[in-house]
Structure 1
Amino acid sequence: MSIISRDFFVTNIIELIIQSETILPVDTVIALENAWQKESNTIAKSQLAAILKNIKIAREKKYPLCQDTGIFIFNVTIGKNIVINFNINDAICEALRSATETLPLRPNVVHPLTRENSLDNTGDGLPDITFNLTEGSDFEVYVYPKGAGSENMSRLAMLKPSQNREIKRFVVETVFTAGGMPCPPIIVGVGIGGSFDLAARLSKKAALRPLDGMNDFEQELCDAVNTLGIGAMGLGGDTTALAVHVNTAHCHTASLPVAVNIQCWANRRAYKKFI
């Protein structure tokens, strides 16, 4: 069995948080560079150039990619052969508090009613931590900072079972309504099926998926979104979405939940395999 110490874990999570905030994943950088190369709109091309310059400065100077450093989502995978003698939730919160001061991160977490700020990016239910249990000795952590500009534009609909043709319309209308507010070019995550809450989780997971290609249905949705002409930062252009990703789950015979979660161009995520 493998044993992980608390101090080692906390130190690495601090580094992972800082990495997620300052270094955009290569797949997203490549997608933005491709969008810049193909862009025919002069204004959109200049916006994409500014985004790429921003990415370079953030990486070189270890500055946050965006002033909205987001709220944090952690996905932790643990194998049954891993021995953990500390509270992982508490350790992640400690790391997040430390990273908030070190980088620093903007304190974004507030009470929903009083709006009192915790000042350390932690609070009831946040960070959002999901655990996956596996066989063997896996121990991996993904971290995803999620900003409000894109999150606020996300939507969910409980369609009728006969309205499967409305899925495409709902996705496109959601992006159209969002316009430039989620800082396009965006990644669109779509969750279809499950239940009210499961569809939302599916869409979030889809939005955070690496840009490793789209199936035919996803490409169809992406093409439809890009015909809107919203473009980079909502100023018009050829590329509104870098990708559309779809996750599905079986659902009740009387339901057709559909959720759309939008991710901005700052498609931040980082990964650490401890063992």
Structure 2
Amino acid sequence: MREVDVGQVTEAVARLAIEACTYLGEDVVDFLEKAIDRERSETGRDVLVQLLENANLARDTNRPLCQDTGLAVVFLEVGQDVHLVGGSLEEAVDEGVRRGYTDGYLRKSAVADPIGARKNTGDNTPAMLHTRIVPGDKVKIIVAPKGGGAENMSAIGMLKPAQGREGAIEFIVDTVSKAGPNPCPPILVGVGLGGTFEKAAYMAKHSLMREVGSTNPDPRLAELEDEIERRCNDLGIGPAGLGGTVTVIDVFIEELPAHIASMPVAVNIQCHSARHKEVVI
């Protein structure tokens, strides 16, 4: 049994929160650079160039990529041979968010009493925490700040099984179409198929942690991802919603078996600032 002090988790979460909000992943940068050549719209190409300039400025000046530094979504994979010591794991994560958003001068966007007073919590806590117990003696931490513009365009549908593959595709593409310019395209589209209501939503969000350009290990899902990406790009929304051929950066799908009477389909949209950083302790 390996002991890990939760103070290490706090330090890691604080650092990752700042890095995620400041440094755009190289996979996204690489996509944007290549997308300039295949975007047919001159305006769209100009937008892509500006997105790259913004990423460079954020990196060089150590400032956020976007003023909306989001709610702090945190994924933990805790090895079953780890003994966490030094306090509460959940409190340690929240303390990391508190420090990261304060020390990094990141906007605090969390409000309590969401259908009432909507008073800012003041430190961007609590974290939206998802924890899994996995084999091993390590702790993997992913911090993925999620802004409101893209999150508001996400959707879940409890479809009828008879709607099948085409019905699921239509729901996903329609969600992207309705989103239009609001999530700051080009976007990533995370999809959760099957499971239950809440599990589909979780899978859709978790799928966004994949590297841009990676291939789904399931050939059936890889083909489905390609088809959805093509049909979304055919919508012509384009960069910043100003028209063009590059609407989607990538499509990621996670899947689970579903109940015989259900076909949950969840779509979690992520803006071009696909912010997530990770570390293993």
TM-score calculated relative to the size of structure 1: 0.95
| Equivalent-residue separation in structure 1 for 2:66 and 2:200 (angstroms) | 28
Match of 2:101 in 1: 100
Match of 1:218 in 2: 225
Work out which of the residue numbers 108, 118, 122 in structure 2 matches 1:119: 122
Asked whether the 8 Å contact 1:80–1:135 carries over to 2, the reply is yes
Give 1:73 shift: 1.0
Number of equivalences:
271
Give 1:155 shift: 1.0
**Secondary structure of the residue that 1:163 maps to in structure 2?**
helix
Unaligned runs of 5+ in 2: 217-221
Give 1:144 shift: 0.5
Match of 1:140 in 2: 140
Select between 49-58 and 87-96 the one with higher mean Cα deviation: 87-96
Match of 1:180 in 2: 181
| Equivalent-residue separation in structure 2 for 1:55 and 1:166 (angstroms) | 37
Give 1:182 shift: 0.3
Give 1:139 shift: 1.4
The residue type equivalent to 1:83 in the other structure is H
Q: Deviations over 1:139-174 (max 9, x none)?
A: 110110000100000111111110012111111111
The residue type equivalent to 1:266 in the other structure is S
Q: Deviations over 1:34-84 (max 9, x none)?
A: 112221211010101000001011111110111000001111112133221
Work out the percentage of aligned pairs sharing the same amino acid.
36
| Equivalent-residue separation in structure 2 for 1:38 and 1:184 (angstroms) | 15
Asked whether the 8 Å contact 1:189–1:208 carries over to 2, the reply is no
**Secondary structure of the residue that 1:239 maps to in structure 2?**
coil
The residue type equivalent to 1:264 in the other structure is C
The residue type equivalent to 2:253 in the other structure is V
Q: CA, structure 1 residues 76+70, in 2 after alignment: closer, same or farther (shift >3 Å)?
A: same
Select between 223-232 and 155-164 the one with higher mean Cα deviation: 155-164
Asked whether the 8 Å contact 1:187–1:207 carries over to 2, the reply is yes
| Equivalent-residue separation in structure 2 for 1:235 and 1:35 (angstroms) | 15
Counterparts of 1:1-275 in structure 2, within 5 Å, are: 1-85=1-85, 86-111=87-112, 112-113=114-115, 114-122=117-125, 126-164=126-164, 165-211=166-212, 212-213=214-215, 215-274=222-281
Give 1:87 shift: 1.2
Moved over 4 A (4+): none
Q: Deviations over 1:218-273 (max 9, x none)?
A: 00110000001100000011110011111111111111111111000000000011
RMSD: 1.3
| Equivalent-residue separation in structure 2 for 1:129 and 1:265 (angstroms) | 23
TM-score calculated relative to the size of structure 2: 0.93
| Equivalent-residue separation in structure 1 for 2:245 and 2:56 (angstroms) | 23
Give 1:134 shift: 2.1
Asked whether the 8 Å contact 1:79–1:139 carries over to 2, the reply is yes
Asked whether the 8 Å contact 2:14–2:101 carries over to 1, the reply is no
| Equivalent-residue separation in structure 2 for 1:79 and 1:120 (angstroms) | 29
| Equivalent-residue separation in structure 2 for 1:206 and 1:117 (angstroms) | 29
The residue type equivalent to 1:229 in the other structure is G
| Equivalent-residue separation in structure 1 for 2:201 and 2:30 (angstroms) | 28
Asked whether the 8 Å contact 1:208–1:263 carries over to 2, the reply is no
| Equivalent-residue separation in structure 2 for 1:82 and 1:161 (angstroms) | 41
